Structure 1
Amino acid sequence: MTKRALILVEGHSGIGLLYVKAARRLGLHPITLSANPTQYDYLMAEGIEAIRVDTDNLDALIHECARVRATFDISGITGFSGADESACVMASELCRRFDLPGPNPASIERCCNKFTQRQLLAKAGVPVPAYRLARNATDAERAAEEIGLPVVLKPVVGSGSSGVQLCRNADELAEHTAYLLGGDHIWRSSPSLLVEEFAQGAHYGAQMMGNAVIGISATGFGPPPQFVYRESIFPVALTDEEYERLADVSLSCLRALDLGWGPSNVELRWTKLGPIVIEVNPRVGGAPTPRLVQVAYGVDLVTEHIKAVIGDEWDLRRRHSYTAAARLLIADRDGTLEWISGDSQAAAVEGIIEAKFYVEPKMPIVRKGDYRDWIGHLIAVSPSFAQTTTILQDAVDLIDWSIAPFPTPSE
């Protein structure tokens, strides 16, 4: 019998391992197509087949999939978000070419452009912050004047909060514009910026599969001006009316963007005017979101996504109801990591189910102002909101580290 393969376009440092393990549990042979497979440690560690190919080249991807099909039965194809989420678009195109289940490629591509996404949401009456497109410093300055400072300045295409910054005054706006357009920020498409009203209020994330809202989390960030995720908790403490409002707005996003196949997640803020949509992502939320949803509700988003990809029936029924929370540990300075302490003690705290560091002593730490500033995470679970938050904080208090500044040139 021919083996059934799952093609993964690119990998993912946070949730890629979850996908290959879930694929194997479903009897699939995972194969990763990547421009640089060596950047994903889990591929070698797990013995995952990887093929080096230009994942920005659709013809090259089609060629490699055709070669794979000579040996395997390709049961499904999906992709992970990269620097510009192009892998998700390419995966959906491949699904169309090989007559496999998948989302509409045009919908994914429109959603991955933040300016186009804003236009479609606004046209459909979905509440979004005021926004302007900018291609140079003059455009950005004019947009900020029209919207009013502070503003959020971000690349039109990108993920993981890369290049996203709060600009509280004209100097910060000019400085960040110069950074984004000056060659330091990596662009894989024509540089363009989104200048956006700073929507102030509690931040929430709705995790969705198809047209169903699986759960809504409360999320928090590290200190401004960056937006580095720091914590997340499922389920969020909301009244029934508040939950329904967030869920209704999230579902309206899917209709406006012609999504609704497979996974998606919607980021919102609850402002004085009510829920405002910050961003819609046509994919499973990054780590540690899938793990939180699984321990809180018993719903494995990754496995159910793969089932959709291969044409099987998914099961989104909640099997239990706990409160799960994660704290992302963020580097507080640049330099060389000298030591970490308390991680084993934190892992031993009752209710902590994960305590993981991504770095080791002697490693250099260079903060980027996005997800790459994470050096580890803790996950706690219990029957109640209050108990979970207490467990998590008790464990966090046990952890410490030291980062020595890099030597100056004179040293």
Structure 2
Amino acid sequence: MASRALILVEGSPRGMGLLFVQAAKRLGLHPITLSADPARYDYLAAESIETIRVDTDNLDALIHECSRLRANYDIAGITSAWHPVCATVGKLCRYFDLPGPNPASIERCCDKFTQRQVLAEAGVPIPAYRLATNAMDVESSAAEIGLPVVLKPAEGSGSVGVRLCRNVDELAEHTTYLFGGQHIWRSSPRILVEEFAQGPLYWADIMGDQMIGIGTADCGPPPHFVCRECTIPAPLTNDEHERIAEVSLSCLRALGLGWGPTGIEFRWTKRGPVVIEVNPRLHGTPTPQLIHLAHGVDLITEHIKLVIGDEWNLRRRLSQTAAARFLVADRDGILDWIDGDSRAAAIPGIAEVKFYIESETPIVRKGDIRDCIGHVIAASPGFTETEAILQRAVDLIDWSITPFQS
């Protein structure tokens, strides 16, 4: 009998891809990764994962490889841990008659301008916004909305290219950065100019139409939006939880989502919860680990069950507080050393200490997720205790960065 294979289109260099591979193996599946550059993911070799080099932007090439694989494997499902190929995965699933998301809904959601339009038409609370395709558009849009504004590419993730512009100089500087060739675009440059929604940041993870959990996050100092810490569950009243859940389901209905995972980010403003972004996928690491520690729900395993047509189980088995602190580079330069991970990991309540980079790695901060050089995860029965455990562990970690010579 042919092995049941799970096809993974691309991977994830910061742990998400590895979690998918490990979950697939636990479910008795044979994971196969299709990637334009398999060398990007060091865990593939470490885990002896079968890989095939293929242009993952080319749907026909992917169909060809999957058809070829069907001669030797029973393809149980196709999925991905990498956001740019989510719509392509949906199209592959449709072609091979496998469970998967609606590719049209995914594409509508991944275009942030279209997403904004759809949510606005449905009456979902969002920041005021304009679309800009040149510097003059940016300037006039910012004048209409009023400073400060957030400039962000109309596609992408991880806060790449996103910046708060508090005055005309910052606005001009970041406009030049985005349109001047420094930012890498996958398509024609389009910028969203948005009202700066001020208030605490929350995030929600949903599977199908079921709310799995609501967490809170803290970003570093402006003008960037680099996440420093995230915690679940968020300390919300019943009314606040209900309002976020209600807005979340409104997003799903408006965007035609509701199959598989959805991650939504909010700011709690004077208007209540305002939607910052809807992502038709799981939030990246370490969010799945936090949900597993806090609620006992393994989102990645349950997602794969859905992908292969098995019945999932989203019942909560735990009631803890889990939190992650990101280690963020404090300067540009060469990382001389980073240590303290074994001492931090030995503290009771610490679930994971992970460094993303090694010694001698050059660091050039971008003001986005790429500035993070590691994370620490803690869990305990209560919020205060988890915070104390996390702080004790982070205090044991240190590193040295030698600035570049000018």
TM-score, with normalisation over the residues of structure 2? 0.98
Partner of 2:2 in structure 1? 2
Q: Residues 105-120 of structure 1: matches in 2 within 5 Å? A: 105-120=103-118
Aligned to 1:76: 77
SS of the residue aligned with 1:226?
A: coil
Shift of 1:344: 2.3
SS in 2 for 1:163: coil
Deviation, 1:119, is 0.4
SS of equivalent to 1:368: coil
The 2-side partners of 1:167 and 1:80 are apart by: 31
Q: Could you tell me which runs of 5 or more consecutive residues in structure 1 were left unpaired when the two chains were aligned.
A: none
Matched position secondary structure for 1:55: coil
| Counterpart Cα distance in 2 of 1:360 and 1:96 | 41
In the TM superposition, what is the alpha-carbon distance from 1:343 to its structure 2 partner?
A: 2.5
Which residue is equivalent to 2:36? 35
Residue 342 of structure 1: how far off its partner (Å): 2.7
Structure 1 residue 355: Cα displacement: 1.2
Trace 1:87-166 onto structure 2 (pairs within 5 A).
Answer: 87-166=85-164
Give 1:113 deviation, angstroms. 0.3
Q: Which residue of 2 aligns with 1:229?
A: 227
Is structure 2 residue 370 aligned with structure 1 residue 372? yes
Query: Structure 2: how far apart are the matches of 1:143 and 1:407?
Result: 40
Counterpart for residue 387 of structure 1: 385
Distance of 1:303 and 1:368 partners within structure 2: 33
Q: Which amino acid counterpart does residue 74 of structure 2 have in structure 1?
A: D
Identical positions, percent = 69
Q: 1:339 offset after TM fit, Å? A: 2.3
Q: Name which of structure 1's ranges 350-359 and 315-324 shifts more when overlaid on structure 2.
A: 350-359
Contact 1:232 1:325 in 2 (8 A): yes
For 1:343 and 1:13, locate their aligned partners in 2 and report how far apart those are by CA, in whole Å.
20
Instruction: Find the residue that maps to 1:267 and give its secondary structure.
Output: strand
CA offsets 1:272-295 (integer angstroms, 9 cap, x no match): 111000000000110000000001
Residue-by-residue CA offset, 1:290-311 (whole Å, 9 max, x unaligned): 0000011110000000000001
Alpha-carbon distance between aligned partners in 1 of 2:341 and 2:59, rounded to the nearest angstrom: 44
Root-mean-square deviation (CA, aligned residues, Å) is 0.9
1:53 aligned partner: 54
C-alpha deviation, 1:341, in angstroms = 3.7
Distance in structure 1 (CA, Å) of the matches to 2:188 and 2:311: 40
* Distance in 2 (alpha carbons) for counterparts of 1:75 and 1:399: 42
Kindly state the Cα deviation for residue 362 of structure 1 after the two structures are TM-superposed: 1.8
For 2:116, give the aligned amino acid. R
User: Offset of 1:160 from its aligned partner?
Assistant: 1.0
Q: 175, 178, 181: which one pairs with 2:173?
A: 175
- Is the 1:56–1:86 Cα contact (8 Å) retained in structure 2? no
> In structure 2, what residue type is equivalent to 1:363?
T
Report if the CA contact (8 A) 2:153-2:191 is conserved.
Answer: yes
Q: For 1:208-229, what per-residue CA distance to the aligned partner results, in whole angstroms no more than 9, with x for missing partners?
A: 0000000000001112111111
Deviation at 1:383, TM superposition (A): 0.5
Match of 2:257 in 1: 259
Select which of 390, 403, 406 maps to 2:404.
406
Distance apart, 1:340 and its partner CA: 2.2
Is the CA contact (8 Å cut-off) linking 2:232 and 2:322 kept in structure 1?
yes
CA distance in 1, matches of 2:150, 2:181: 20
Cα distance, 1:181 vs structure 2? 1.2
Is the 8 Å Cα contact of residues 79 and 90 (structure 1) preserved in structure 2?
no
Give deviations 1:243-263, integer Å, cap 9, x for gaps.
111111111100010000000
Give the counterpart letter for 2:12 in structure 1: H
Secondary structure in structure 1 of the residue aligned to 2:79: strand
How far apart are 1:190 and its partner, in Å? 1.2
Cα drift, residue 338 of structure 1: 1.8
- Contact 2:125–2:273 (CA under 8 A) maintained in structure 1: yes
After superposition, residues 226-375 of structure 1 pair within 5 angstroms as: 226-375=224-373
> 2:68 — aligned with what?
67
Worse-matched range after superposition: 221-230 or 110-119: 221-230
* Structure 1 residue runs of 4 or more that deviate by more than 3 Å after TM superposition: none
- Contact 1:337/1:365 (<8 A) preserved: yes
Q: Which moved more, 1:335-344 or 1:102-111?
A: 335-344
- Farther-moved stretch of structure 1 (367-376 vs 290-299): 367-376
Task: Give, in whole Å, the separation in 2 of the partners of 1:361 and 1:60.
Answer: 38
Listed as ranges, the gaps of 5+ residues in structure 2 are: none
CA shift, 1:80, in A, is 2.9
The 2-side partners of 1:94 and 1:362 are apart by: 40
Cα offset, 1:196, TM superposition: 0.5
In structure 2, distance between residues paired with 1:299 and 1:137: 46
CA positional deviation for 1:361: 2.1
Deviation per CA, 1:344-396: give whole Å up to 9, x if none.
22212111111111122222111121111111110011001110011111211
Give the match's secondary structure for 2:175. helix
- Confirm or deny: 8 A CA contact 1:199 1:271 kept in the other structure: yes
